[in-house]
Structure 1
């Protein structure tokens, strides 16, 4: 028996893509409805557990367009870890991460013609090993720079490089494990 699940939200679904996904395909990690970028899919639930619940943290990188120009002092706050809202009005302090100001975001994504430019704005490249509670959006909002666009460009060594929006690239399990730096 095949079950079909449909979102109650007005979002694109995997069935909208021109690809015949095998039964049991699920996302490794998620993107919220306002985010875009790299989405990994698998039929092996063990990969998901090892990537997000394993003893070795795995990096994820996001290209983030924020309102206003971000001064160095605020980039340092992001790098060091910042308090973000959590459930029940508690505060979660993020782990230290890598943050760079990016002058040319088009070098990271293939659909550069679709970039929207807000004046003034900044592009940041944020690389972290966690992704809790819409973390990146809350981090940049916490320093006074609301997120205008959020694009996940990589998980470990799997990147968007060379992929067009909506394009699906199939990898063998061995290729995927190698690029994700996972050993079964």
Structure 2
């Protein structure tokens, strides 16, 4: 079995084909035949994407019924109150239903964080905060919708961990076997 940990850069599709869009895809970074992503990471999100050649392993990682935690660092607009964090911890009502409870806490700005290209917009008058969120499901753009629902839109989103696998030591656009 092959298991690849890939640090997906901002602006890369989580698939091997671009379907005529001209956008960068996994094929621009990973040249191993027979591996496929176990789940997705949005075009405008960064961080850990796992690829494997084992269909059963792929399903266990991607399927929300297995409740494998996925941990993100979200740079959000404003400074979330304790009430906003409690709402995230209890679950947030979205248009497609209530989310499962999340682990949510404010964290310091990550050290050694690579610059994003293009950089996020900067506004002097609006502070931003880093929030660590762990979820056990994977609704479409879930973390972004959750932070927006509590009044703090996500400016930058980086997945740092899936289960026991993490990004440690993997630069953007690089991968290693697990």
Same fold (TM over 0.5): yes
Query: Larger radius of gyration, structure 1 or 2?
Result: 1
Shift of 1:11: 2.8
Q: Would you say the 8 A contact 1:99–1:126 is kept in 2?
A: yes
Shift of 1:14: 1.5
Q: String of CA shifts for 1:55-78, please: whole Å, max 9, x gaps.
A: 542110000011111111111011
Unpaired runs of 5+ residues, structure 2, are 1-15
Q: In the alignment, what sits opposite 1:151?
A: 158
Please, what TM-score do these two structures have when normalized by structure 2?
0.80
Q: In the alignment, what sits opposite 1:82?
A: 92
User: As a proportion of its length, which structure holds more strand?
Assistant: 2
- Whether 1:37 and 2:47 are equivalent positions in the alignment is yes
- Whether 1:164 and 2:166 are equivalent positions in the alignment is no
Q: Name the CA shift for 1:54/1:33 in 2 (closer, same or farther; >3 Å).
A: closer
Shift of 1:54: 7.4
Q: Name the CA shift for 1:42/1:145 in 2 (closer, same or farther; >3 Å).
A: same
Q: String of CA shifts for 1:69-98, please: whole Å, max 9, x gaps.
A: 111111101100010122xxxxx1011110
Unpaired runs of 5+ residues, structure 1, are 87-91, 172-184
- Of the candidates 91, 100, 108, which is equivalent to residue 95 of structure 1? 100
Q: Which moved more, 1:117-126 or 1:73-82?
A: 117-126
Q: In the alignment, what sits opposite 1:138?
A: 145
Q: Which moved more, 1:110-119 or 1:132-141?
A: 110-119
Equivalenced residues, count: 158
User: As a proportion of its length, which structure holds more helix?
Assistant: 1
- Of the candidates 9, 12, 19, which is equivalent to residue 7 of structure 1? 19
Please, what TM-score do these two structures have when normalized by structure 1?
0.78
